[in-house]
Every structure is written in C-alpha cells, then in structure tokens.
C-alpha cells in the first residue's frame, strides 16, 4: 500500500506568469504616480533649501552692515561725550575768537546730525534683519516639511520598487542595463534643436531606468526628456507634471506630431519623446532600460497629449 504525503496546509500554488504580469502592470501604474510625487517633493525641497541658503547669505551681509553701523554709533557717542552735552557752552564762552566758537558749534551740530542719521540707519538695518530672520525661519520650516515629504514618498517608492524587482526576476525579465551604454545612432527625420535632443536621447539607449535619475548613468522618464532638451537648447522643468504645465501654450494634437515632441501618458505618470516614423524613445520603469518603442495601439491609447518645446 502506497501512502501519499499530504501537501503542507500552508502551501500556496505559484501564481501563473499571466497573473504575475497583470500584477506587474498595476504596480507599474502605481509606481509612475509615486515616482512623480517623489520628484515633485524632491524639487520642492531643493527649491526651499536654495531659497533658505540665499536668505542666509543675505542675513550674513545685513548682520555685518548692522555691526558696522553699531561701531559707528559707538564712535559718535564717544565723540559726543568728549565734546560735552549741549555744545559745552562754558568752553565756547571762554574762546577769544568768535569764529572759532562758531566753528565748534557747527561741528557739534554736524555731530548730532550724523548721530541721528546713523541711528535711523541702524534701526532700519536691524528691523530689516529681524524681518529677514523671521522669513528665513519660515522658509527653513517649509524646507524641512518638503524634506519630510521626500522621505515619505521615497519610502513608498522603495517598497514598490522591491516588489517590482521581485516579480520581474520571477518572470526572468529584469534588465539591469549598462550605465556606460554607448546608445544607438539617431537616423530619424528630426532637424535643428529637436535633432540634437533626439541624438542625446538615443545615445542613452540601454542605460537603466532609475526613479529620480537625471543622468548620466541612469534616468527616469522626465529626467531623460529634460536632459535631452537641455542639449537641444531648451530648459524644461524637472517633473512630468511641471513639464506638462510648462507646455500649456505649446500643446499639439496627437495626429500632428513632429520629432522631438514630448508625449504624456494619461494621469501624467509617464512621458517620452516622439522620434518620428511612429516611434517613441523613453525611460520606461524599474527593471527596464531606456529604449525606442513603436507607438502602437497600446501606447496611443495611453497618451494624454503632446507638447512641442
């Protein structure tokens, strides 16, 4: 008699490749949104930090100015004390030369005027200094809040990336990419600035996607378009959302695309560049590399719109 061993009660069947792929698609969509939120938070932090550092430099300069005025006031006060209050009338009365006495009185009046001017300048400088310190304190608090948001979003993205990586490895489709990839040559129909931008983007083909990446060894989707168009002479904002907003007056219909146009997915979680001949170059998602793809039905159904830099 043969006895069959029972399977452990806690054992679960391995999900099918189709189910793993379906889950991966959902994770990729979530990751697109999370990465853009991370990029937005990171840009907010960098902007707030830069503003604080600029204010801090200005504070140092104003502090030095107030210090100089303080020393000048001390000197004027010392001179006034040595000359005596109210012009030292007894000393003037004993002077034999009226002209000398008048000159002394004029000097004391000038000393009093100088002191009044310096006091006013000092009060103005210190008030401005207090105001700037309060402003810097507020800006620093904003920078700290932005930094906390960056950390929160990064934690969420890191968790999602680990899950994506795990699923891709189970499917055997995880691609590490080559940070030193020489890319491929662009031979499409673009010209001028758009051609330079596309030549740069094609030269990055084969490099890994990395969220928050701005090169040179890895990029995320908006990091690639920003770097490419910088080469083409146009300074784009950092994130997909801000690039879409930046292009509000530069929108073009999807049926009138030209090489170099920026392509945006619905939900603004992803973007790429139109390369001409029905193709797009983009940095896809975790576990993939910068590549050129056909704008087939899948991509066309995902697109929200296009912007021409």
The domain at 192-307 falls in which architecture? Alpha-Beta Complex (3.90)
Question: Domain coordinates of the chain in residue numbers?
Answer: 18-82+97-171, 192-307
Q: Is 160 a catalytic residue?
A: no
Residue 95 pLDDT greater than 70, yes or no: no
| Rounded Cα–Cα distance for residues 97 and 304 (Å) | 93
Across 3-7, 27-31, 43-47, 183-187, least confident range? 3-7
134 among known catalytic residues: no
Which CATH class name applies to 18-82+97-171? mainly alpha
Name, in order, each residue with C-beta under 8 angstroms of 296's C-beta and a sequence gap of 6 or more.
none
Catalytic residue among 282, 284, 290, 303: 282
Q: Give the rounded percent of residues in the chain with a pLDDT score beyond 90.
A: 51
The torsion of the CA quartet 213, 216, 218, 223, rounded to 10 degrees, works out to 40
The one catalytic residue among 207, 210, 238, 270 = 270
Token digits for 43?
């840009």
- Which of 125-134, 219-228, 265-274, 291-300 is predicted with the least confidence, judged by mean pLDDT? 125-134
* Residue pair 288/213 in contact by the 8 Å Cβ criterion: no
- Residues 194, 201, 221, 268: which is the catalytic one? 221
In this prediction, residues 70-81 reach a mean pLDDT of 67
270 catalytic per annotation: yes
């Amino acid at each position: 008699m043969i006895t069959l061993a029972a399977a452990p009660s806690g054992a679960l069947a391995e999900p099918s490749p189709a189910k793993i792929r379906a889950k991966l698609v959902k994770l990729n969509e979530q990751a697109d949104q999370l990465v853009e939120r991370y990029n937005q938070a990171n840009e907010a932090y960098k902007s707030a930090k830069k503003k604080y550092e600029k204010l801090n430099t200005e504070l140092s300069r104003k502090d030095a100015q107030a210090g100089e005025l303080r020393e000048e006031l001390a000197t004027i006060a010392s001179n006034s004390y040595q000359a005596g209050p109210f012009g030292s009338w007894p000393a003037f009365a004993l002077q034999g030369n009226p002209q000398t006495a008048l000159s002394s009185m004029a000097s004391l009046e000038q000393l009093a005027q100088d002191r009044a001017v310096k006091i006013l300048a000092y009060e103005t400088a210190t008030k401005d200094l207090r105001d700037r310190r309060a402003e810097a304190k507020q800006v620093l608090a904003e920078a700290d809040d932005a930094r906390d948001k960056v950390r929160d979003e990064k934690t969420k993205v890191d968790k999602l990336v680990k899950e994506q990586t795990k699923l891709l490895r189970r499917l055997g489709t995880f691609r590490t990419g080559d940070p030193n990839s020489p890319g491929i040559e662009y031979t499409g129909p673009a010209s001028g600035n758009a051609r330079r931008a596309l030549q740069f983007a094609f030269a990055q083909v084969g490099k890994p996607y990395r969220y928050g990446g701005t090169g040179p060894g890895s990029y995320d989707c908006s990091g690639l378009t920003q770097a490419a168009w910088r080469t083409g002479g146009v300074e784009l904002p950092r994130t997909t959302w801000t690039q879409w907003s930046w292009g509000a007056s530069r929108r073009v219909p999807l049926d009138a695309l030209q090489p170099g146009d920026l392509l945006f997915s619905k939900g603004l979680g992803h973007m790429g560049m139109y390369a001409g001949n029905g193709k797009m170059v983009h940095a896809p998602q975790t576990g993939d590399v910068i590549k050129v793809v056909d704008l087939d039905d899948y991509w066309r159904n995902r697109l929200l719109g296009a912007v021409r830099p």
